[in-house]
Amino acid sequence: MSEKRPVKITDTTFRDAHQSLMATRMKTVHMLEVAELMDNIGFHSMEVWGGATFDSCMRFLDEDPWQRLRLLRKTIKKTKLQMLLRGQNLVGYRHYADDVVDAFVSRAVAAGIDIIRIFDALNDPRNMARAMAAARREGAHVQATISYTLSPYHNLDLFETNARRLVEMGADSIAIKDMAGLISPFDAFELVSRLKKVGVPVQLHSHYTSGMASMSYLKAIEAGVDVVDTACAPLAMGTSQPPTESLVAALRGTPYDTGLDLEMITKASEFFKGIKKLYYIPPEATGGVDTDVLVYQIPGGMISNLASQLAQQKAAHLLPEVLREVPRVRADLGYPPLVTPTSQIVGSQAVVNVLLGERYKMISTEVKNYVRGLYGRPTTAVSDELKQKVLGGEAPVEVRPADLLPPQMEAARAEIGDLAESEEDVISYALFPQVAESFFRRRRGLEPPIPEEDKCGFPAAAKPAACREADLSFIYTVDSGLLLADEEDPEQAAYPAG
Ligand code: CO
């Protein structure tokens, strides 16, 4: 072809890259130092917010996520700002009521977000509808997302049908979210070719985990993908995105030429090379190709989580059996893509099944709620055995799960009282009650601030042992959500245990 069709690039350095490599710890101050330079590079957009960055700000950094967004918006004047939103889960780990979704999206756009990438772990459009409608109403670009996975039931027809439905629901573009780095180059070609027929721009988001992502991007570009996600080289590869520099260089002088200035990107990368040393990056995150993803189709981060769960039970030797059990549990649950929160739900049940020596002798509350339909509709039916065990003769919930939730904003406002200093604070509290309240208390000086050395924003060499200890429990698991951490408190669960 000779017709010019420049590929656009979304830079993920301020969101997914540091979430994937450094447990979401990058401080706002470091982003601001390089933000203007990044703004001048000419990216299609910069992903700077959402995913795990929201609670991470309050939880680990003593920072207000809303303030971060406003400061970035002030400095990044030309480039569109993008965020990742987990549908009805917003930036949390459970479903929230519709009034929280509306308030969150409205304030996010007001604070500077232009493009909202919306996904659901089960690809259940009902879990995305409210957020998509809110984003559209607020004037944001609605990027609806397909969570990519492999299974006997996932195929090109299913993904295309899914995409068409999302466009009918008002999507301005479609993203393929390959959170585990599973998509192979030739599958990427086929999938993008199919999705391009739907009639809106297509964007591909992958991770370098299996070592295939750059090749997959190239094939996706041949198939006509409009935008791909990359990160500045020092924070690329491993469990992060492919490096921007290589792609820009590879496409130079071709019809797909990005037109981006490689020298300017290199300057930004010099900066990230410098600050990278200030954060702890677990060796597993940058250890080159993760062969587990290729062999088991289970994200490597999830395997290390399973291994540590087993080690705690002094049962490390059972790992091979658990790795065989994970796909079986996933099949029983109707083949959910493995992403937060389904990866944790499937993984923990597989561990329990193996440890107790009998499948589903004990069933976790999450699996029960899943089977009851409270996470949404799986790709295919849950196994009869599991249905019988959990539901007896009862029927699962057929309504959209969030229809069962009463409004939450006014209750949150009353509960947090004057510790909230703005409407944004009330939203933060509605999303993460304990984390937000602790943050507000520290902000007001009612509790001591998080020590600098615990933020992992200090040179690793200064206190390497402490840094390592602080970080290992928060190693990235499966891409976006990753950290269930202490929001697992049953009192905070959206739906009653049963
Ligand atoms: Co990602």
For ligand 1, the distance from its centroid to the CA atom of residue 89, given in whole angstroms, is: 16
pLDDT for 277 equals 86
For residues 104 and 327, what is the distance between their CA atoms, to the nearest angstrom?
A: 35
Q: Do 118 and 344 form a contact (C-beta atoms < 8 A)?
A: no
| pLDDT, tens only, 39-53 | 999 999 999 999 999
For ligand 1, the distance from its centroid to the CA atom of residue 369, given in whole angstroms, is: 26
pLDDT for 300 equals 65
How sure is the predictor about 1, in pLDDT bands with cuts at 50, 70 and 90? low
For ligand 1, the distance from its centroid to the CA atom of residue 160, given in whole angstroms, is: 21
What residues have CB less than 8 Å from 160, skipping those under 6 apart? Answer: 194, 195, 197, 198
Q: Where are the beta strands (DSSP E) in 161-281?
A: 173-178, 202-206, 227-230
For residues 479 and 462, what is the distance between their CA atoms, to the nearest angstrom?
A: 29
pTM, full prediction: 0.90
Inform me whether the pLDDT recorded for 395 exceeds 70: yes
Over range 15-38, report the average pLDDT.
94
Lowest mean pLDDT among 228-232, 295-299, 344-348: 295-299
pLDDT for 114 equals 98
For ligand 1, the distance from its centroid to the CA atom of residue 239, given in whole angstroms, is: 9
Which residue type occupies 153?
Y
For ligand 1, the distance from its centroid to the CA atom of residue 16, given in whole angstroms, is: 6
For ligand 1, the distance from its centroid to the CA atom of residue 263, given in whole angstroms, is: 26
Over range 224-248, report the average pLDDT.
96
Above pLDDT 70, what percent of the chain?
A: 90
For ligand 1, the distance from its centroid to the CA atom of residue 417, given in whole angstroms, is: 36
Q: Do 143 and 203 form a contact (C-beta atoms < 8 A)?
A: yes
Lowest mean pLDDT among 124-138, 207-221, 276-290, 329-343: 276-290
For ligand 1, the distance from its centroid to the CA atom of residue 240, given in whole angstroms, is: 7
The pair of structure tokens assigned to 400 is 């959209």
Return the number of other C-beta atoms located less than 10 Å from residue 197's C-beta.
11
For ligand 1, the distance from its centroid to the CA atom of residue 178, given in whole angstroms, is: 7
Closest CA to 48 of 85, 11, 86: 11
pLDDT for 469 equals 36
Q: 């589903």: which residue's tokens?
A: 360
For ligand 1, the distance from its centroid to the CA atom of residue 449, given in whole angstroms, is: 31
For ligand 1, the distance from its centroid to the CA atom of residue 33, given in whole angstroms, is: 24
For residues 406 and 495, what is the distance between their CA atoms, to the nearest angstrom?
A: 11
pLDDT for 306 equals 86
The pair of structure tokens assigned to 117 is 């990438």
Inform me whether the pLDDT recorded for 463 exceeds 70: no
Which residue type occupies 242?
P
* Mean pLDDT, all residues of the chain: 89
For ligand 1, the distance from its centroid to the CA atom of residue 415, given in whole angstroms, is: 34
